[in-house]
Structures are given as C-alpha cells and as structure tokens.
Amino acid sequence: MSAFPEVRPRRLRRTAALRQLIGQPVPSLGKMIWPVFIVGGENQKIEIHSMLGQFRMSADELCRAVAPLATQGLGGLMLFGVLDEKLKDVAGSAAFAADGLVQRTVKKLKAEFPQLPVFTDVCLCGYTNHGHCGPLKNGTVDNDAALPILGKIALSHAAAGADGVAPSAMMDGQVAAIRQALEVNGFHDTILMSYSTKFASALYGPFREAAESSPQCGDRKAYQLPPDQLQQALRESQIDEAEGADILMVKPATFYLDVISKVRKQSQLPLAAYNVSGEYAMLHALAKSGGGDLTALARENLIAIQRAGADILITYWANQYDQIFK
Ligand SMILES: [Zn+2]
C-alpha cells in the first residue's frame, strides 16, 4: 500500500513523545558559541538597547555571566573588544597590544575556565578611528597592507591563550597570512576559524551599535560579499580552506540557509554559522509586537540553522539556552 488511507504521515506526529522519537536532536549548548562584547574597567554591565538580553561587560562581569554556562557545557565564546573612542587611532594599534582589552580578557577567561574554548574576532574596525577593517589608502582599504596587521592581532590573541582566532576582515589572503604568522611563531595548535563566507548584509545594524564599529565614511561592500553572489560565496570558503582554515563560517545565517547547506556539501571542514544581531533583534521585535512567542521563535531559528548543515552555531541566544530548550 502506498497511498491514503493506509499512508497517514500524521501517525508519527500524534503525541509529543512520538514527535521527539522521530525528530532530530535539538541543537545542544555544546554546539553554541556565545559572542560577547567586552569593555574595560570593572563591574561594567551595560544592556545593549538594540539587542535585549545582551550586554557590554567588563572582564569580571563576563566571568560572572559565563560561569553557569560553562558548567552547563557552553561550546565556546567569541570575544569582541569595544574600545574607548580615545584609544582608537588611525592604525588601530590597540588591537594588537599585548596588554590590550581582548588580550587581558582572554587571559582571565582561560585562568578561570581553562576548559572553555575561547575564540577572538580578528579585525581592525573596532580599533581604527575611521572604522574600516584595514588601513586606508586613497580612501579605500588597502588589502595587502592589512595582512601583516591582522597577523599581529591574531598572534597577540594566541599569545594571550586564545584557543582560536577568527579573522572577519574579508581581506584576500588573510587566512594564509595569519596561518603563517602563527606557524612561524610556534602557535601550531591555534585554531583558525575563518569568516569564510561573509555577506555585506543589512542585518548587522544592532551589532554596530553594540561594538561601536560603524565605518565613519563609506561602507564595506567592496570587501564583503553581495547577497546575490552564490558562486563567489562558495568560492570564498574554498579559498579559505585552501589557505589553511580549520573551521569555515557563513554569516549571516537565517537569510543564507541555502549557502550553509551548499558549503556543508562542498567541504569536510567543520562549518559555523553566525546567527547575527539583526536576526536576533528581528525575533525580539516580533515578540514585542505580540506577533509570536520569543522562545519558540528562537528555538525554530536555531533548529533551522542546524538543519541547514551548521555544526557550530554562533548565537546570542546561547546565554538563554535554558529558556529556549527547556
Ligand atoms: Zn572589521
């Protein structure tokens, strides 16, 4: 028999226990990396208005927030430094200072939570006074001049004890340059998680408020991927794999589930998907307007990203895991 009335797919959905039995496991906290925004000082915990439930935290507050998550098996952290405006300069030199904000925070985190994987964002845009991801030449970012600087930033994070570095500048050749800098300096075990397929998305708005990293002039369209260029998107991940990336990434996630699925098929490397600030804020906005239940929305969103093929979910929902997957 292969048709109704003998065939009734609804048989398998009749009860919650049956649905669970048939379904896939929900994403676990161990598969999630929580992106966090770090500020200097002590006892600083400032809510980010455009990203409810997320905070800019000083290192001590971050450790307090991380402690219960680390006990529950959080997959990792991704650190973004939010630098005081007066510490920014044209070269972004605070990005690679041995005792810089991110470097100090990595040391503290690894001392308190030695088992918790700590990744760092490697870029210049949060450290330059012009807000671009590399040095400017004639008003545009100088790709090749950015490479040794990105190498220096990655090295300083590795020296502080970061398990992995994640270059997000979208400069051509950045993965090879960072890999070489790490090798030459003996950091053979530092993981390189590349933002290999990063789109010039309209979904980064709340992040830019959180990290205070909007370009002062122009935009990043000349180095990030146009949303309609699928072949270029797939190629970028292949190039980063060839340059020595250990983990690939698609960013954003929800509008690019097809890209996640395709990158997953073309590579054997672990694949991360960055569930970005706009995706997060969008669900909050819908829930706030009475249009949906926040935890149900978050749950469906995270399941979708995992279903598309992401092995690692970089998501702001990580610190609310208990409420979402209770
Ligand atoms: Zn950047």
Distance CA 237, CA 197 (A): 6
The DSSP line for 4-19 is: TTT--GGGGGSSHHHH
Distance 298 CA to ligand 1 centre (A): 27
Distance CA 125, CA 216 (A): 10
Question: What are the pLDDT digits (tens) for 59-70?
Answer: 999 999 999 999
Distance 123 CA to ligand 1 centre (A): 5
Distance 171 CA to ligand 1 centre (A): 10
Distance CA 244, CA 188 (A): 12
Residue given tokens 């959080």 in the structure block: 74
Distance 132 CA to ligand 1 centre (A): 6
Question: What are the pLDDT digits (tens) for 42-92?
Answer: 999 999 999 999 999 999 999 999 999 999 999 999 999 999 999 999 989
Question: What are the pLDDT digits (tens) for 192-240?
Answer: 999 999 999 999 999 888 887 777 666 777 788 999 999 999 999 999 9
Catalytic residue among 31, 88, 251, 262: 251
Per-residue confidence at 1, pLDDT binned at 50, 70, 90? low
Distance 83 CA to ligand 1 centre (A): 13
The DSSP line for 178-238 is: HHHHHHHTT-TT-EEB---EEB--GGGHHHHHHHT---SSS-STTTSBPTT-HHHHHHHHH
Distance 63 CA to ligand 1 centre (A): 25
Distance 82 CA to ligand 1 centre (A): 12
**Dihedral over Cα of 241, 114, 57, 285: its sign:** positive
Catalytic residue among 31, 88, 198, 262: 198
Half-sphere exposure of 98 (CA within 13 A, CB side): 1
Q: What is the pLDDT, as a whole number, of residue 221?
A: 76
Q: Domain segments of the chain: what residues?
A: 27-324
How far CA 56 is from CA of 34, 80, 103, 241, 308, in Å, comes to 13, 10, 16, 33, 31
**Residue 111 in 3-state DSSP?**
helix
For residue 80, the tally of other CB atoms under 10 A from its CB is: 20
| Across 95-109, 136-150, 299-313, least confident range | 136-150
The DSSP line for 142-192 is: -HHHHHHHHHHHHHHHHHHT-SEEEE-S--TTHHHHHHHHHHHTT-TT-EE
**Residue 104 in 3-state DSSP?**
helix
Q: Are 92 and 47 in contact (CB under 8 A)?
A: no
Catalytic, 198? Answer: yes
Distance 100 CA to ligand 1 centre (A): 17
Distance 169 CA to ligand 1 centre (A): 5
**Dihedral over Cα of 169, 172, 177, 178: its sign:** positive
Catalytic, 86? Answer: no
Distance 107 CA to ligand 1 centre (A): 23
Q: What percent of the chain clears pLDDT 90, i.e. is strictly above it?
A: 90
- 113, two tokens: 């939570």
Question: What are the pLDDT digits (tens) for 257-298?
Answer: 999 999 999 999 999 999 999 999 999 999 999 999 999 999
Q: Does the domain formed by 27-324 have CATH 3.20.20.70?
A: yes
117: left (phi over 0), alpha (psi -120 to 50) or beta: beta
